[in-house]
Structure 1
Amino acid sequence: MDWLTERFAGAPERTAFVHEGRSVGYGEVVATVDELTDRLARAGVAAGDTVVVAGDYSPEVFCLILALARLRCVVVPLTRSSVVEESVALGVSGCDWYVSAGDDGQIAAIDHRGQSSDNALLTEFRARRSPGLVLFSSGSSGAPKGMLHDLERVAEKFRRQRTAVVAIPFLMLDHFGGINTLLAITASLGTVVTVADRSVSSICAAIARHRVQLLPATPSFLTLLMASNAHREHDLSSLTRITYGTEVMPQTTLDRVRAAFPGVVLQQTYGLSEVGVLRSESRPDGSLWMRIGGEGFRTRVVDEVLWIKSDYAMVGYLNAPSEFDADGWFNTHDEVEVDGEWFRVLGRVTDLINVGGQKVYPAEVEGVVLDVDNVSDVAVHGERHALLGQIVVATVVLDRPEPVADVKKRVRQACAAQLAAFKVPVKVVLTDGPLHSSRQKKIRRA
């Protein structure tokens, strides 16, 4: 990854980060990477060591990851709101060294842990003498999976320099999308605007203050943004592009965002931690259809499910069998519709609700319920039923209090008018929320 710091060195005066009110140039980034490389080496950190990095976005944490890559270490990023317990993560990956960042983002301590892991895949990977990256799934459909990536291969996708932008890295450091965004921005010599508080109001305030051009977000966040009306309370005119992914976007939310940001390009993205983030293009008709692929990626559909073959795929799971077939194709478990070269993601197979043999896609129902008066957010899931197998349940967050019977009546009427009868929620449950995880992704469960 030396090409990346060489690129930084060629533009020392450009602003790389705006963090806690201070601007950090690319020249300072290079100097900090050099300094941290020396500090780590003096502490005894060596090639092949597994190093846990505990911290949030800051220039110093980014420089630490680059320094560890230079030393050919295996990096395990964790944050305060990581979706996996630290003890669980370390039990899977091991931990030779634990490096923590303080609240100010500065590197506070480099502690030797010596917690070994007898993982065969890690042992084999260390023989490559390549820098590694371990990320964990949320464990929403079972135990969290540790995914080992070759960090050099992950970064290689960004060697070709693109247009520089000012952007907020919305997803966290322990998420592939967060690492992907961070590398994409810096590899193009753009500016990373860090936001410690990822609430709607804080994100909007940061966009207005720093004239942010690109907002990568999730559909859940954009649903909250539209419900809060924060986009009317802040000057977001600097935005030129909003990207959204990691889950299915309700058409209702997409329509609202288009209306609120008429001059902004809305781009649906697609990727998985196992295979990387594909290049994408949204169909210009305001729909949820997109074209995906790009150099290094191939796609195919088998029995309505999307499969991907990627040059940037992970090395493998540390604690689970491989889900790649013998030819290197990965089953995404996302059901899709195909229209020529365009795809529309209907939902994850594990989220599908089976009502008497009929498929119900939660996002389709959620899109209708979001249009119901007084509903600010909704999550739809299936509940076991003795006769039908499952029934549809809608968990709803309201703008203002009202009896559940009144809400249920309006929800059922709206769904009955637009959906088949088996898709209409049998139960409507009220909650104060939130209906999303720390990764701003919809939580669909009882």
Structure 2
Amino acid sequence: MSLFAHLKTSGFTTTAIDGSVNVSYASLIAGAQALREKHHNLKGQSLAISPVDIDELVLAITAFDGWCKALYMLPDNSLALPEGVCKWPLDDRPEDSAFVLTDTTTERDTATISEQNTRWYLATSGTTGTPKWIVHDFASLSRAIKTSSHTQQLRWGLSYQAARFAGLQVVLQSLLSGALLIDCSSGDIEQRLQQMIHHEVSALSATPSFFRQLLMTAKLSQLNLKQITLGGEIADQALLDTLSQLFPRAKIMHIYASTEAGVGFAVADKKAGFPSEWLQQTRSGLKLKVSDAQHLMIKPEQQGFLENRVVDSEGYIDTEDLVSIEQDRVVFQGRACGVINVGGNKVHPEAVEQVLTQHEDVVLARVYAKTSSVLGQLVACEIVANTQDTQGLKKKLLAHCLAKLARYQIPSQFKFVSHLANQSTGKLSR
């Protein structure tokens, strides 16, 4: 079933997009139907949806899922597209585009034309190499979305780019549950938080880095959050505890998902990592295991599309996330490709960052490799602190790290900065 067909049979009557205008499902379907009729030549074609307003994006994906052969979601216009893919809006199509519109239908009454299973292509972030197009369909994208009378009452803040996997999950969650959607994906952190406060956002899905930035404003408590979802980065215990104390009544989850693996699994016990017993179970339609290289491996029961995924002989997708088993928990260590090699010793930047942010005077930390002529690489870090006494804090952090880290893991260089940049995905820039 396509998004278009799903909304036609939905039990909800209205939704709200961008927090202002109520939109009936009937009018949304009518608008999507009108787009199909106006652009009937796009039937069976491949279409790239470039950055547009959130209401235009919702209308476009409703119209063209089940109508086009493929949808390429463009978070920006720098990504290369396969030959023959047309860009939406059509007015943005270059003069020399190789795409040629051809009438592939024999009748204009699009309501009578059968739908197809549209392939949705989403781009990886490119943080570990050249971005890849990963294929999904509406069924795989909506598999983990829950709808109920409770979810209908939520007011979702969209912190991610809508055309990326995490952002699309929020858009679909809101759209399929009849909830309100506020686009808070642009502007500085103060502007975005003010928008959330103004529209009384009650549900927020964002990266741990984004939540830490919101905490820096000292205004996050002005929101009455009922649903908090962390994803995209490691959710450490310190942040989970802070959010639990600030919003004791909220449902707090850290979700494991990626563009490559699709929707993974959610952990709702407010503890870092996930129970090791899940490695012997099927969770949310997934089987999990840890490879010999300590990579987390995921195998969906419904295999679907596997192109551009790294899959082993048993059909498990290699997430390239390093994990360790500590007592009864599987704990995330970081990306396999991000390891710092200090004289043959492997250092996971995320593990050191977690230790640094445990200190009460550290708000944000970024750990990175510094070239060394002797050891190859050394550990360095940038710190956003909530104290002006950076020299005193450096001494405290060295003592703090000595108590919790091996010597080769301890940063040799501390740099104090006013802020740390995030990628367009919401993750900390590395």
Q: TM-score, normalised by structure 2?
A: 0.83
Distance verdict in 2 for CA 1:202–1:65, change over 3 Å? same
Letter in 2 for 1:137: T
Q: 1:269 is paired with a residue of what secondary structure? A: strand
- RMSD of aligned residue pairs (Cα, Å): 3.1
1:267 corresponds, among 253, 270, 281, to 253
2:384 is matched with: 397
Distance verdict in 2 for CA 1:368–1:249, change over 3 Å? same
Distance 2:191 2:304 in 1: 34
1:289 is matched with: 274
TM-aligned CA deviation for residue 87 of structure 1? 4.4
1:306 is matched with: 296
Q: 2:85 is paired with a residue of what secondary structure? A: strand
Q: 2:428 is paired with a residue of what secondary structure? A: coil
TM-aligned CA deviation for residue 196 of structure 1? 4.8
Distance verdict in 2 for CA 1:301–1:313, change over 3 Å? farther
Name the count of aligned residue pairs. 407
Distance verdict in 2 for CA 1:312–1:211, change over 3 Å? farther
Which runs of no fewer than 5 residues in structure 2 stay unpaired?
100-114
Q: Is the contact made by 1:282 and 1:290 (CA closer than 8 Å) also made in structure 2?
A: no
1:66 is matched with: 62
Please list, as runs of the form range in 1=range in 2, the aligned pairs for 1:145-294 lying within 5 A after superposition.
Answer: 145-149=132-136, 151-155=137-141, 157=143, 161-162=147-148, 163-164=151-152, 165-197=154-186, 199-232=188-221, 234=222, 236-237=223-224, 239-284=225-270, 286-289=271-274, 294=283
Distance verdict in 2 for CA 1:339–1:410, change over 3 Å? closer
Q: Is the contact made by 1:324 and 1:331 (CA closer than 8 Å) also made in structure 2?
A: yes
Distance 1:435 1:156 in 2: 31
Please list, as runs of the form range in 1=range in 2, the aligned pairs for 1:124-163 lying within 5 A after superposition.
Answer: 130-149=117-136, 151-155=137-141, 157=143, 161-162=147-148, 163=151
Distance 2:95 2:327 in 1: 54
Q: Is the contact made by 2:321 and 2:336 (CA closer than 8 Å) also made in structure 1?
A: yes
Q: Is the contact made by 1:158 and 1:184 (CA closer than 8 Å) also made in structure 2?
A: no
Distance 1:282 1:290 in 2: 11
Q: TM-score, normalised by structure 1?
A: 0.81
Letter in 1 for 2:232: T
Distance verdict in 2 for CA 1:418–1:388, change over 3 Å? same
Distance verdict in 2 for CA 1:19–1:410, change over 3 Å? same
Q: 2:167 is paired with a residue of what secondary structure? A: helix
Q: 1:438 is paired with a residue of what secondary structure? A: coil
Distance 2:215 2:162 in 1: 26
Distance 1:134 1:113 in 2: 24
Q: 1:409 is paired with a residue of what secondary structure? A: helix
1:29 is matched with: 28
2:321 is matched with: 334
Aligned: 1:366 with 2:362: no
Deviations 1:339-375 (A, max 9, x none): 6874321211112223233332222221232344654
Q: 1:316 is paired with a residue of what secondary structure? A: coil
Distance verdict in 2 for CA 1:413–1:283, change over 3 Å? same
Distance 1:193 1:112 in 2: 35
Q: 1:226 is paired with a residue of what secondary structure? A: helix
1:89 corresponds, among 65, 74, 80, to 80
Q: Is the contact made by 1:11 and 1:27 (CA closer than 8 Å) also made in structure 2?
A: no
2:42 is matched with: 45
